[in-house]
A and B are shown apart, each in its own frame.
Chain A
């Protein structure tokens, strides 16, 4: 049983309500920060904790905070990124839905550290009912003196507003999110200037993921130093994982990053094994953008070491033989699943979500979807596989924002590890149409690859 910092209280009845949350020790971190620490001391604690951004990029949070510009007389803003849209990822939703006050508490402490008197939660439009939950939590916090003017007599003022998006994956990218907050299309901005210097309304702005900001609460409560002792190496603290696909127990789990991937998949405390007694075929361990790995490379690294659920171990082997922790969206495919069809759905997703600003992404995502559709429906040629490879390579690194990379990587990894399955589709067009893939041939989960 790993240590829990975020979901420790999620089983407490009515923890969503202020009175219960407060009785369980909620808002202690606000008291501690505002009464006994300076804003810079709060930032220092976060730096010491080693906390890395939980939205997918894994950038050190304390460092990001220290970049914020502080020009005289210009307001600064903290914006919470709750635009959770990466396929496979639903951890922030869980946190906001069941522990809304944990997020609000983290937002107040973080706003204090950054000097943000008006803080926004940018939430994806589809999470409409969660907007109501958050607004109720904000109202309760305000009624109890945790928000508003001169909080706890500290002289610090803070308001939190929920800003509801309207359906666009790209708005999870921080500069697109800022554009959207300003009432515009979600087209990412060219950096620099970075948001920390020129963000929302040209004011210094920090954008952090929901889970990142919630993690500030335990960091302040137990100190950054103690937080850094949990986990391993540069993967400090705990991480929320959302597990889905063909497993027995899909859901949100908090891990302390010292367990193995195998344990996460097969232990009843977590995913509980592959559904319907099937075998593991492949897995995308960190949200749809990160490389898919076949079972053998997922459970062991190329060196034959046990692969662990943390930032370093998941990326061991680079893009050719490893993957990434990403957003913690853990998607499992059983032996009957078709990698071509699955990749097609992801390519369609990225084509749909491309903002259209950069031509490699706008055109490339459409071409990839069309070619994959041809292969999937028995109209593909062997040369199409090389063409796909060529297109993804020309998207990667050639766009303003990382959506281009995110669209390229799943296609690249699928071809890299499952080329035989693509070729099988081309050579067996009739079976493709009947959806009879003969896929069991590809499930070799526990063999360690030879380099």
Chain B
């Protein structure tokens, strides 16, 4: 197995495990999967999941069944920036349908697809607890709220600039 957390990340894993009773290190699975996803390309490959299983001394199947249950774990590669646009009732009332259509038209992708340059993925999600600030999307660790077409344009530009700077 070629995957390996850095020393710092391993320390973090052990610290997380220490939050739970002795012998119950499986409880650390959700937080450790978040760490693994961040570390190994923003998605969970079978190799990544097997590595997490070995760290927590549990069976790989125990990791797979959890990874497939929760919506935040990506089971295939995604674009560098994933737009997760909420489409549930309260956001719909404030025009999320139009925002989703606008992103589709602007990026020329459908929901669930990634742009050819690998920069953007569009995903629709269910209620993220930002109903009073609708329409909204999640982008990485942040919420982008009160979305308008102009704001979507600005976010796309911001991502493109960030990507250009990092290259």
Listed in ascending order, the chain A residues whose CB lies under 8 Å from chain B are: 75, 84-90, 93, 118, 120, 124-129, 161, 163-169, 180-186, 201, 242-246, 250-252, 284, 288, 329, 331, 333, 337, 341-342, 345-346, 348-349, 352-353, 355
Contact = CB atoms under 8 A, between A and B. Distances in A.
Given A331-B89, A331-B90, A165 B70 contact: yes
Given A163-B19, A183-B28, A349 B127 contact: yes
B16 to A, nearest CB: 9
Interface residues of B, number: 41
Contacts of B108: none
B9 to A, nearest CB: 16
- Which 7 A-B residue pairings sit nearest by Cβ, starting from the closest? A183-B29, A167-B71, A166-B70, A250-B132, A244-B131, A167-B72, A183-B26
Contacts of A93: 129-130
18 contacts: A90-B133, A93-B129, A93-B130, A124-B129, A126-B129, A126-B143, A129-B142, A163-B31, A185-B69, A186-B70, A201-B27, A244-B132, A250-B132, A329-B131, A331-B131, A337-B93, A346-B88, A349-B89
A331 B126 contact: no
A90 B66 contact: no
A246 B131 CA distance: 11
B71 A168 contact: yes
Interface string B102-118: 00000000000000000
B141 A128 contact: yes
B33 interface: yes
Contacts of A128: 141
Nearest to B27: A183
A337 B134 CA distance: 15
B26 A182 contact: yes
A233 to B, nearest CB: 28
B148 interface: no
Contacts of A88: 89-90, 127, 131
A87 B88 contact: yes
Nearest to A184: B66
Given A89-B129, A166-B70, 18 more contacts: A85-B129, A87-B126, A88-B131, A90-B131, A93-B129, A166-B72, A167-B73, A169-B127, A182-B26, A183-B27, A183-B28, A183-B62, A184-B65, A201-B27, A245-B90, A250-B134, A252-B132, A348-B88
Contact of B93 (A75, A333, A352): A333
A5 B69 CA distance: 38
Contacts of A127: 129
B24 interface: yes
Interface in B54-98: 56, 58, 62, 65-66, 69-73, 87-90, 92-94
Nearest to B23: A201
B62 to A, nearest CB: 8
B154 interface: no
A250 B89 contact: no
A288 B126 contact: no
Contacts of A86: 127
A163 B126 contact: no
A124 B90 CA distance: 19
A288 B72 contact: no
B30 interface: yes
B127 A166 contact: no
B128 interface: yes
A175 to B, nearest CB: 15
Given A85-B129, A348-B126, A349-B127, A341 B69 contact: no
